[in-house]
Structure formats: structure tokens, C-alpha cells
Structure 1
Amino acid sequence: MKRVRLGKGLDVTVIGLGTAPIGGLFSPVSDADAEATIERAWSLGVRFFDTAPLYGFGLAERRLGRFLRRQKRDSFAISTKVGRLLRSATAAPEDDHYKGTPAERPQFDFSYDGVMRSVEESLARLGLDRVDVLLVHDPDDHYEDAIAGAFRALRRLRDDGTVKAIGAGMNHSGMLARFAEAAPVDCFLLAGRYTLLDQGALTTLFPVCRAKGIGIILGGIYNSGILANPRTGAKFNYEDADAALIARALALEALCRKHGTELKAAAVQFCMAHPAVTVALQGARSAAEVLDNITMAERSVPSAFWQELRERKLVDASAPLPGGA
């Protein structure tokens, strides 16, 4: 698989595996299915893996680590996140997005010491001696704490060679743009804010990242599922999508059918066409989903589709399209 440079000294595959689904996002996943998912991604050439303490409340890190510990350490790159510590909970909230998880629950902690503890605990769950990328995770209401504590810790870890790249992971492009100006970051993980349904990052984030050489790991390409299967009950941004969003997704799907292609192929290739995007991060909960994701990234999408997409103003007029359409 093609490799690209993330930050100043890390080579990663252009497609990465996101591990929220194997942490039980929306529905439980067995150990066997999680193992098969990671194995299929590996066999297809994926060598960049993203995880976090939040994903399955430690479950995704443990499952990913069990596989990666058997591989040569320099043959892959892994990112995890800081800002949440997992602590014992007597009762799990009923509205958790993650199913079939351990009893621990996350507590926000963006302090310097909290970040250092988070890294140690993630390494213990992974069973690895190091990770390559550390991202401050969802500091939406904790900007000052992230600047004063979390990024100070990450900068130290990068300066002493413990990690190769640092940044933040969020689904808000505006705050990431603030971090780009205020912190010495190498990359961002942007979830769901640059898709066929939402191009909010075009003017708020991508220009500053290109100017500063900050890599973009793009997640949420299918907007939590609506661009994979637009229907009543589909998810957008991890919640039930409203009728207007479903109608827009159905219109995109109809245009894809007209041109003999698939909505998922158009969704991932649209994202990868922007020069600010370094890695397309795709989550999967089964080996079949991994294969489908990579197939969609490579499937031919007719130029006529992109032309009509532009003509019908279904995406922002300034969004780059594959092939320069």
C-alpha cells in the first residue's frame, strides 16, 4: 500500500484502520471478529492503526495490542489518544455508545500529569513499548487545560524521542485551527468534518494546515454510517440522523447509481482528493468490512459523476474533486 509522510519523520500507509468499531461502537464485537478484522487489514497492506482509551473503554487498545505485539515493531505505526483516564465504575450509563465493554469508564483529564498517566496506561493495555502518534482527544470544553497541560506533556514526549508526532483528534475543525496556531503540532485527526455531507474544514482548518505542514488523518468518512447505508435510523456524528440529512444522502446515492458507482466509493475518494488529507482512516468491525473499505477506495468512479456532483452543487464549489473535475 502507498506510504505517505505524517509529520516530520513518520511514514504511514495512506489508508489506516480505525478501531472504534472493534471496541463495540453501537454493537458488541467478539474477540475472534476483532482479531479477524485486524488480520485482514494487515494482509491487505494496512500498516497504520488508530486507537484510543475511549474506544470500548480500553477494549480496542487491548485487542489491537494482542495482534500488533506479534509483528515486528518497526513494520507498523500506531496512534492513540490522551485526555481520558479509565477508572472503575459501579454502574455503566445506559446511553453509552460502546457495547460489550469492561466496567471501567473514562474521566476527562487534560493535565500534564494526567496525560503522562494516560500514556503509561495505554502502553500497558497495548503491551507495546511505545506508540508513534499521540493525540489530545476531544478537548472541546477544555481548551486552556489542553494548551497548558496536555500539549506541554506531548511536546516533552516528542522532544525526548518517545513519540514521533503529536496533535489532536476532534470532530470540530474550528478548535483544531486554534490549536494549529497555538501549539507545535504535527498532525490532526479530523472526524466527520470533511465528507460528502460536511465540508466545514475547507475554510476553517485545511488552509492553515497546508501552510504549516500539518498532516490530516481523516476519520468519519461515512459520517458514522449514513454515507455507507442511507436509511431511516442511520447514524450521523454518532447520533440518529435527521430526515434532511438522510434525504441528502439518498440524493447522493441516487446520483451514484445513475453513474454506475457506489456511494461509499464516492465518499472515500472525495475525501482523499483534497491535498491536505494525508491518511484516510476507516473503521471496521469485521474482515468483510475491511475488504469493502479498501475496495471502495480503489473502485473506479466515472468523471461524469464528479462533474454532475459539481454542477448540482451537492458539495462546496471550492472542494477539490478526483481527476480535477
Structure 2
Amino acid sequence: MKNLLFSRRKVLFMLTDALSELLSSGLSLQSSLSLLSERKSPLGFCACHLHTALSSGMTLSVAFCSAPALALPDWYASYIAVAEECERISPILSHLRSLLFHEKMLREKIFAMLSYPCFVTLLTAAAGFFSVFYLLPSLSSFLGGDFSEAQKKAFETMLFADVGLLTVFAALVFFVSKVFSPSPVLNVIKTMAFFSEHDIPTLQAVSCAFAFVGREKKIAFALLSLRNRLLDGESIADAFGFCLEKAGFKAEGRLLSEFLYICEQTGNNNGFARSARVLEEKQARRERILLSSIQPALLLLASVYITVILKIAFLPYLTSLGGIL
């Protein structure tokens, strides 16, 4: 079996998808794993490991984490732990399948988004290389003068321009990944929305949401403060609003607080879901703005690159050619 991260994540998606289908049809977890373990494939190998681990008394979350053929994100293990604790394995596996599918589509979207900038960057760099290493020697032999200094300067200019071009492309890759990746706050709210929909206690949902924080210390401190306030009996609307605003997420905190307050007055439990939809719409607007601005920005960058090459590299030749004419 391949040990590449991508293939291991793919096996995780296949296993989650298969288990979700079998459990939703009415089969038990052990029966589902027993059926899947009969497959002579990476999926069957993982299912066999899980079946053996559960038969030996290991918990499902520990069994998933110990599986050698799976690339398990932290949030996946947290969801499985909550599923065991609340005995909601079937709906949570279905939700995990949708999360993994969304992660896969996001990765493909980013790759597709960067394919055009990569093509333009390589084409522009190739044009500069062709100009300096093929066109300039041809002009030198045609004019018959000593242009060694001009050729050296042209080569240095091309290297400098290529470094700048690659730097801009690397910055674009970083910027695109930041814009297209959902913020940790949105992931936390979506996690709370799912658990609220399935009547899972808020404190357990907050504990699971910690897995989406990553390196965002401000959100981690906000969730810790939130947990303490909920334990002290403060309302969910006030606790979430105060903690997120204090952590620096004022817009998200106020939005969520308003929706949760209305839900508390009406008895609904869709405050998190409504907040997540609003934040996802803002995310979609940012993506559309980025998509509409990348093409003209790249064309402008290519124009500047070619202009610099023409001015520094070809101007001495053109001046000499004008004198000859």
C-alpha cells in the first residue's frame, strides 16, 4: 500500500463513506466492519484493523488513531470520540463524510485556481529565457559589435526579474490558500451547528470544536473562556458573543450573538447554522473578488516583466541598429 498522505486520506474518505452507508441501512458497527474487512484492498485492511481493535475492547476513536493506513485529522478523532460518548455514530459518520468531501473539493478548487497563474508565470519566464539566450546572441552576430557587457547585464536582469516573478507567484499561492480555506471561526460555528441540530450537549460540542482551532491561539483562549462561562450558567448567546469579540472576532461574535439570542427567545436551535450560512456567503464573495482580479493582475505582471527585459536587454541593440539604419 502506498504510504503517501494523499492516498491515506483517500482511504479514510472511502472507509467513512462505506461505514456511513452500511450504518444508515441498519447494520451494526461490528457487522459493517466485518463485511468491509472481507475486501482485498486498503479499505478492507483498515476495516479489519478496526474490527480486531474493537473486538479486543479498544474504543473506536483509539482504534481509528492507531490505524497505520489512515491519515486522521484531529477534528476527525474528536468527532468519533463525541460519537462514542453520545452513541450517535451513524449521523456523525455521515457528517464526517461530508466534511472530507468538502476538504477534497476545496483542495481541487485551489489546484484549479492556481493552474492558470502557474501557466502564465512559466510562460513569462520562458519568454525571458528565450529572449536572453537565443534572440540576443542572434542580434549580436547580426550587428557584429561587442555587446558582451550588454549581454551580461541582460542575463543579470533576467535573473532578477525571474526571482521577482517567482516571489509574486509564491505570495499568490499563499494568498489563495488563505482566502479559499475557511477560517477557524467558521469551522467552530459549523461544528456547533451540527451538534446543535442533533441535540448534543453544548459543552461536548465546544470540546470537539477545539480540534479546528489549529495554531489560532486567540480562538483557543476564546473557547476556554466560553467553556468556563457556560459552566457558570451564562447564556449561550452572551457567552459566545463576549468571548469571540474579546478574542478579536467582533463581526463574527456580534452576528452569532444576535442569532443565538433570537433562537433563545423562539425556542429554535438554528442560530449556529444561520450564522454559518452568512459567513459562508461572505467567504464566497471574497472568492469571487479574488477570481475576478487574478487574471488582470497576472497580465499586468507579465507586461511589466517583458517591458523590463526589453528595456534592459534589447535597448542597446535597438540603439545600435538605429545608428546603422
Normalization by structure 1: what TM-score?
Answer: 0.25
> Higher Cα Rg: structure 1 or 2?
2
The structure in which a higher percent of residues are helix is 2
